[in-house]
Structure 1
Amino acid sequence: MEHETTDSRNNARLAILELANMISVPMSLNAVVRLNVADAIWQGGANTPLSASQILARIAPSGAGDPETLQRVLRVLSSYGVFAEHLNDADSSERKYSLTETGKTLATDSQGLSYAPYVLQHYQDALMRAWPLMHEMIVDSTSMPFVKANGEEAYCYYGKKPEMNELMLKAMSGISVPFMKAILHGYNGFDGVKRLVDVGGSTGDCLRMILQKYPSIVEGINFDLPEVVAKAPSIPGVTHVGGDMFKSIPGGDAIFMKWILTTWTDERCKLIMETCFKALPVGGKLIACEPVLPEKTDDSQRTRALLEGDIFVMTIYGGKHRTEQQFKQLGLSAGFPNFKPFYVDYFYTVLEFQK
């Protein structure tokens, strides 16, 4: 064995200590999101560097709180690029913090949206209870961590918890709008479509954006669970339809879905895609937006984000992220002879399955 003072051994020990303490990072992120720190700094775009005491005065105006505790949390998140640290050399104790580009995703925009709800929904009690049971899933494939911790599958559990459903809707809206802007800028697959069905479309926000860009679409069908579409607002050109995607889907020239397949097993995905196939005419297409894993593993931020997301959907939903080839094979098994990926976003990929 190498001498413990060599660079390689020192780096190895450092790496495993970082991994062992990694829980500090998401828990710190959860804390600053719960406290609305990003909005306290952002202040409508000012983004003025503030000390921990100044931030506390905005989030806890009663005067309670510990600036040192907050500063320690801000420092660790600064090391991960969420905040920028501004240090006065003359006074090393006076550290100030502003938002980086990453941090700005947590600030509420003019539409009332941000990535903050997406962060929060990961750390709800029901989800946190599942994580310590992940090892059991490795040795027993029938053991579902979320089910074992909470007694039923995640979607069923959410359906009985209005506050969890509400947070999920906010989370999906917060990440959907920026992604849809990227799609509508870099993908033209909606050209020529007359009737578009959005499976799992929630309140219809994505359909609204698509129809604004493509007025040639005569009708948009927002398809989701009956209890979801019952709360959807009226949108010109959009019809809200409730149902079960595993049983039947309204017909259209094209079917659009995002982040649906990744939360289900291969068997359930095949069933969803077969239902889509039946609802499409010859030449019609399923446009699915999903994370796509690279074939080779590396330590890039993109690969890590995709692999981390894979473990999340595995633990909470029993789903999986897939490679391009795996998606192609899924499409073929459901009857789609043609497949084409479009990489318009660093995390999500547009996948076209044509009948």
Structure 2
Amino acid sequence: MGSIQANPASESFEAQAHLYKHIFSHINGAVLKCAVQLRIPDIIHSHGQPLTIPQLASKLEVHPTKTASIERLVRLLVHNGFLAETKVNEEEQEGRRKHILSLHLLSYLWFKEEEKTIVESAFGLGFWDLLERDHQYMKSFNEGMASDSQMMNMALRDCKSIFDKLETLVDVGGGTGTTCRIISERYPNLKCIVFDLPQVVESSSGSHNLTYVGGSMFESIPFADAVLLKWILHNWDDESSVKILNKCKEAISKKDEGGKVIIIDAVLKEKEDDNDMAQVKLLFDILMMSTLNGKERTEKEWNKLLVSAGFKHHKITPLFGFRSIIEAYP
């Protein structure tokens, strides 16, 4: 971490986080509404003392698979000051979920069902399946991810130590290749591969050190010195993330010579982050939970995930506003 200087683009990343906070601010109202619909305030008041998350879930009679979701919703309500937590037990609140695309749908009823996400409850299909069905929305989604990736350009000047000594890099789930193209241009001796679904990369063209490969990250990943996962793992639950990380580990060609997985994702640090930054991360957590059955993770949860996937050690560097770089070594 000492080799990376303070990010001169920090103001831009803070502005991005501020923008996201307002874009997704409707989630706060939706969560509060669901808490009322679930009668969480009444349940807490009737109990007369703080409730643990399992106790609250039991009284709410939510589906057994939704207990962890209740905990994450409670975490946002606590952050927003609607509930408080004690050092012994967590005082609880609510449960509510958010919507997909631009729809304000569903609510507390989702907690009574088995479906993994509100998207599945509403449409009968998962988020990625909906993208596959609607090519225009897929195009908009990829354009949005590419726009976000442009922010990388401002921070990569400080990442020389991260890409130093690497000869090859594969960007898993790299979409149209914006991030990888920026890296390939900044580090011309680094051979970069954008790896995504065939229909995503089929019309993309590369350069002398940038190529595109189609495939599934759950099946096999092209060999490289390092694997990049930018904003990928928060889309998936722990079980799926471990599978992805295992495939990444298999693809690393220099396991004993600095080979690694480079993860760009959020790390929840409520006690350390300022209010706005913590708010953005928690809003994204609800968004991932309701849309994709994914999650934003604490440092402890990242450690557990990487250990489960067989990585020996890792280091976390805050560098991209509300996201960090996590370097994981097999």
TM-score strictly above 0.5 = yes
> What count of residue pairs does the alignment treat as equivalent?
235
Q: Secondary structure at the match of 2:211?
A: strand
Out of 213, 223, 234, which is 2:206 matched to? 234
The answer as to whether partners of 1:276 and 1:286 remain within 8 angstroms in 2 is yes
Distance 1:141 1:318 in 2: 12
Which residue number corresponds to residue 207 of structure 1?
180
Given the alignment, which residue of 218, 221, 246 partners 2:193? Answer: 221
Residue identity in the other structure for 2:196: D
What's the offset of the Cα at 1:174? 1.2
Q: Which has the higher contact order (CA 8 A, sep 6+)?
A: 2
SS in 1 for 2:161: coil
**Residue 251 of structure 1, CA deviation:** 0.8
2:79 alignment counterpart: none
Among 294, 299, 304, the alignment partner of 1:324 is 299
1:258 offset after TM fit, Å?
0.5
SS at match of 2:320: coil
d(CA) in 2 for partners of 1:134, 1:310: 17
1:284-307 deviation per Cα after TM superposition (whole angstroms, max 9, x unaligned): 100010111115488700000110
Structure 2 unaligned runs (5+)? Answer: 1-24, 30-97
Q: Displacement, 1:336?
A: 0.6
1:278 paired to 2:253: no
Is 1:127–2:101 an aligned residue pair?
Answer: yes
Distance in structure 1 (CA, Å) of the matches to 2:268 and 2:198: 32
Pairing 1:265–2:240 present? no
Which of the numbers 137, 158, 166 marks the counterpart of 1:185?
A: 158
What TM-score do the two structures reach when normalised by structure 2? Answer: 0.66
* Pairing 1:37-76 to 2, within 5 Å after superposition: none
> Aligned to 1:127, what secondary structure does the other structure show?
coil
The answer as to whether partners of 2:266 and 2:296 remain within 8 angstroms in 1 is yes
The alpha-carbon deviation at position 181 of structure 1 amounts to 2.3
Partner SS state of residue 246, structure 1 = coil
Cα 1:179–1:139 change in 2 (3 A) is: farther
How far residue 203 of structure 1 moved from its aligned partner, in angstroms, is 1.7
For residue 179 of structure 1, what is the amino acid of its counterpart? Answer: M
Within the candidate set 276, 282, 286, 1:311 is matched to 286
Identical pairs, percent: 32
Aligned to 2:81: none
Unaligned runs of 5+ in 1: 1-21, 27-122
Moved over 6 A (4+): none
Separation (CA, whole Å) in 2 of partners of 1:25 and 1:328: 29
More off after superposition, 274-283 vs 254-263? 274-283
* Conserved? CA contact 1:191–1:214, under 8 Å: no
Contact 2:176/2:200 (CA < 8 Å) preserved in 1?
yes
